[in-house]
Amino acid sequence: MPSILYIHGFNSSSASLKARQLVEYMGRLGLQTQIQAPDLHHNPRQAMVQLENAIAALGQPLLVGSSLGGYYATVLAERYGLKAILINPAVRPWNLIDDHLGPQKNYYSGEEWVLTEEHVAALASLDVSAPCDPARYQVWLQTADETLDYREAEAFYHGCALRIEAGGDHGFQRFAEHLPSLLSFAGFPSALWRDTDFSDFK
């Protein structure tokens, strides 16, 4: 049975909208055991341990990574030969967060922590080249992303299947509408959701 590992972004958590929507969607289909959406440690080295443990538990999951989670997903997809859907992914996140050293607060948990040069170096140490097998990737971008320039991801993942939508935002508006497509790419048979009414799904 296919499975999914959702990887949230910087200062985010499993309480973020996309994570909640995906977990709820899987639950409605009776597939709640086939998904994990861990709350990641802010230290990249510890986050990678958490993610590798989740992969070991799930088998060969589809990786679904948002923002910084898209970077983590790329690293892991290359390391383990996994498929990945990247949503407004950060390409070189260490260059982005280097200007934000100092006190941080998780948007959802309220956890306070300090971003240091060690965190930045840990992210940079994970750097990988563009995907060696672009067919294993889908990259979902929205052009009005207020946090990242979508064109950087478009260039880096140029050989992959790109879904570029005009407008939107960094959170990726209308994510729920794309969930059947996500499950299809993961390998779940369409019979699982074909007759399910998700008209009230938000």
36 by Cβ neighbours in 10 Å (0-12 / 13-18 / 19+) ranks as: buried
Residues 130-180 have pLDDT tens digits of: 998 999 999 999 999 999 999 999 999 999 999 999 999 999 999 998 999
- What pTM was computed for the model? 0.96
The pLDDT of residue 192: 85
Contact (Cβ atoms closer than 8 angstroms) between residue 128 and residue 75: yes
Q: Supply the CATH classification number for the domain 4-192.
A: 3.40.50.1820
Q: Is the pLDDT of residue 199 over 70?
A: no
Q: Token pair for residue 154?
A: 């478009």
Query: What pLDDT, in 10s, does the model give residues 75-98?
Result: 999 999 999 999 999 999 999 887
Which region, left, alpha or beta, applies to residue 20 given φ > 0 means left and ψ of -120 to 50 means alpha?
Answer: alpha
**In a 3-state reduction of DSSP, which class is residue 13?**
coil
Q: Where are the domains of the chain?
A: 4-192
pLDDT at 23 over 70: yes
Pull the structure tokens for residue 123. 């992210």
Question: How far apart, in whole angstroms, are the C-alpha atoms of residue 139 and residue 143?
Answer: 13
Total Cβ atoms within 10 A of residue 140: 25
Q: Output the pLDDT for position 126.
A: 96
